[in-house]
Amino acid sequence: MQATILILCEDQTGIISAVTGFIHQRGGNIIYLDQHVDQQVGKFFMRIETDFKDENTLSEDFKKNFEQELAVPYEMKWRIYTTDDTPKMAIFVSKYNHCLYDLLSRVKSGELDVSIPFILSNHKDLEYVARQFDVPFYWIPVLKDKKAEAEEQQLALLQQYQIDFIVLARYMQIISPGIISHFPNKIINIHHSFLPAFAGAKPYHAAFERGVKIIGATSHYVTEELDEGPIIAQDVTTVSHAQTVSDFIAKGRDLEKIVLARAVQLHCNRKTMVYNNKTVIFS
């Protein structure tokens, strides 16, 4: 059985040797290892992929011993995931369908190893897309005077389906602090600009007015500060004075699909770690 281990701790000597030795002593074969040291803050980040011939090795005793022998002495924050841990992803959408179609197609083709228990929207417009892919669809309107009620319904669904993370595929509502607190660094948004430039609701219009020569898309984890969360993936494309706002939007939507899918893939593959509102993205 294969497993992925993520580690964050203070930088100090002997960490790699201690971790790899622990795995070797238990019959594990390390098939990938990547590490990074943030020298400014003195933090050590590591991602290891391992293969254990005996599936029983990854028992509660393994985790208990790892905690006692490594995590406590090195003051580690760590997580372990096995190949059986297929994440459950909820998709939130509003009226734009391009990112939704792209994600559903990638999951259906096997490109994204994730399950989608449901799609949630504050409008009914995209229910037909959910039916095409045989995914349950829930309509929860977010009315100005009933936002707390909507949040309760959303949380109930997320808990009912034991959702691991949420993807905002152009969901045009601000996520409440209550939901963010239940899913820290587990809500992925796609913003239609190269953040931190042109945050807000109409970045393509703002970029057009500014006369920029490139436009971009940014996928980031959601925090309570709007469009300020840790960035996972970004990309850009060129534009010119001869193009209209509509041209910007059309080119941007292609970028949005690609960047969001890349961020979801990185998250599902356990290749992201967050610290100080920044991400370490492993190769």
Which residue out of 11, 51, 227, 235 is catalytically annotated? 227
**Can 164 be counted among the known catalytic residues?**
no
Residue pair 112/265 in contact (Cβ under 8 Å)? The answer is yes
Alpha-carbon distance of 15 to 7, in angstroms, equals 10
Residue pair 245/208 in contact (Cβ under 8 Å)? The answer is yes
DSSP the chain: -EEEEEEEEE--TTHHHHHHHHHHHTTEEEEEEEEEEETTTTEEEEEEEEEESSGGGSSHHHHHHHIIIIIHHHT-EEEEEETT-PPBEEEEE-S--HHHHHHHHHHHTTSS--B---EEESSSTTHHHHHHTT--EEE----TT-HHHHHHHHHHHHHHTT--EEEESS--SPPPHHHHHHSTT-EEEEESS-TTTT-SS-HHHHHHHHT-SEEEEEEEE--SSTT-SPEEEEEEEE--TT--HHHHHHHHHHHHHHHHHHHHHHHHTT-EEEETTEEEE--
DSSP 127-139: HHHHHHTT--EEE
Q: Collect all residues with Cβ–Cβ distance below 8 Å to 139 and sequence separation of at least 6.
A: 120, 121, 122, 123, 124, 127
Which residues are annotated as catalytic? 227
